Chains A and B, each alone.
Chain A
Amino acid sequence: DAKTTQPPSMDCAEGRAANLPCNHSTISGNEYVYWYRQIHSQGPQYIIHGLKNNETNEMASLIITEDRKSSTLILPHATLRDTAVYYCIVRVRGTNAGKSTFGDGTTLTVKP
């Protein structure tokens, strides 16, 4: 699995957009970008994934650069409940996806 790099922490004001960056400069052509978040004392929760096109779901948007070496997770209107550790990983899809390596993630603190 390709290594990802994320800032250790970020703050965001409640109601504002939270933009969380991730660098994955060694990503392979068949690897997807996945985002998860972990709220205190819970298991990680899947948020969104993408290959090369931008993606949006009810939780967030994912912007992937054209060269696929970095991406940004966007929470359009952050709430206090979005305070969590956010993990960016890259992995292939399919039955032989192999192990998935998580880094230390970004601790997002949403402030009132």
Chain B
Amino acid sequence: GAGVSQSPSNKVTEKGKDVELRCDPISGHTALYWYRQSLGQGLEFLIYFQGNSAPDKSGLPSDRFSAERTGGSVSTLTIQRTQQEDSAVYLCASSSGGELFFGEGSRLTVL
């Protein structure tokens, strides 16, 4: 597609379950970002991938959060043993070095 694609758009899970969120960046974009947005809040940086370099994981809130980017394209954000405070919209963005292009986000609700 022409834009950044994220799936699922909505995910409801029970506390303690693991979830995977997927991001398909714009083809050719070497940089990929994950952000978290809690209700009524700004964007919280989570992790940044650039080409084959080691990712910048400085924003991951705990070791329950991890992300990978396979083949320099698709990325998966994994949250293990989800907690209610993990409920938020998870946004992915990609870039070729200029502006960021965002997906529509994955809304996660942890019951």
Residues of A within 8 A of B (CB): 34, 36, 42-46, 49, 85, 87, 93-105
Number of interface residues of B (CB under 8 A): 28
Report how far A104 CA is from B31 CA in the complex, Å. 23
For the complex formed, measure the closest distance between the CB of B104 and the CB atoms of chain A, giving whole angstroms: 5
**Interchain nearest-CB distance for A36 vs B (Å):** 8
Q: Judge whether B99 and A87 touch: CB under 8 Å.
A: no
B33, A100: Cβ atoms closer than 8 Å: yes
Q: Please, which residues of chain B bring their CB within 8 A of the CB of A45?
A: 102
State the main secondary structure of chain A at its contact with B. Answer: loop
Asked if B42 CB lies within 8 Å of chain A CBs, one says yes
B98 at interface, CB cutoff 8 A:
yes
- How distant is the Cα of A43 from the Cα of B33 in the complex, in angstroms? 13
**Are B58 and A44 interface neighbours, CB within 8 A?**
no
